Chains A and B, each alone.
Chain A
């Protein structure tokens, strides 16, 4: 079964550094998402992406965050200047359709900001 793959599985960075989290969505999917889960808390929506532009974003997704689909397969989340509170598990997801279609999630990248 096709999978969403994320790299790296764990990223440690110092506060103020830039990080890029990478995702390869399922190949025939057109809609891409980032969610995050702070330890012990709920999974929260960050951003959705379609047709090379952001479709929706949450209040969490401020100017420090950006997303990009640099080629036909990768989907990245960049955090420009990391803060301690950015420490979380970041999940990439993709879906075939915008509605009426389940999200398929990757295994996540655990980001630790020190």
Chain B
């Protein structure tokens, strides 16, 4: 069964600073990987996804993530954070063969300070 670890529960960055949110997964084959964002009182919005091909994927709102098979990681990055990026970020992994439900990490809460 697949699993996801987001080691950072809470991160605080200054507006304009760069951001990297960590995600490590466990899965026996090539996974499908996702990052979702949850703003307060809102649902889960898909930021980006990796299925295959180029390991650096671009998403919405200026986010990108890089799949590194050797490190079982799919870290989310943004070069310059905006105050509106303050939210909860969830990494999720799905199976690329057969079907298993999407498994989420516990999330990383991002705070942005002026």
Contact = CB atoms under 8 A, between A and B. Distances in A.
Nearest to B103: A45
Contacts of A98: 99
Nearest to A105: B44
Contacts of A105: 36, 43-45
A58 B101 contact: yes
A43 interface: yes
Contacts, number: 55
Nearest to B41: A107
B32 A100 contact: yes
Interface string A31-53: 00101000001111100100000
Interface string A72-114: 0000000000000000000101000011101111111000000
Interface size class of A (residues with CB under 8 A): 20 to 34
A103 B43 contact: no
Contact of B43 (A33, A56, A58, A91): A91
A43 B90 contact: yes
A42 B102 contact: no
Given A104-B46, A105-B43, A108-B43, A42 B105 contact: yes
A20 interface: no
Nearest to A48: B101
Interface string B29-63: 00010101000011111100101000000000000
A58 B41 CA distance: 25
Contacts of A30: none
A3 B102 CA distance: 19
17 contacts: A35-B104, A42-B104, A43-B90, A43-B104, A43-B107, A45-B102, A48-B101, A58-B101, A99-B97, A99-B98, A99-B99, A103-B46, A105-B44, A105-B45, A107-B42, A108-B42, A108-B43
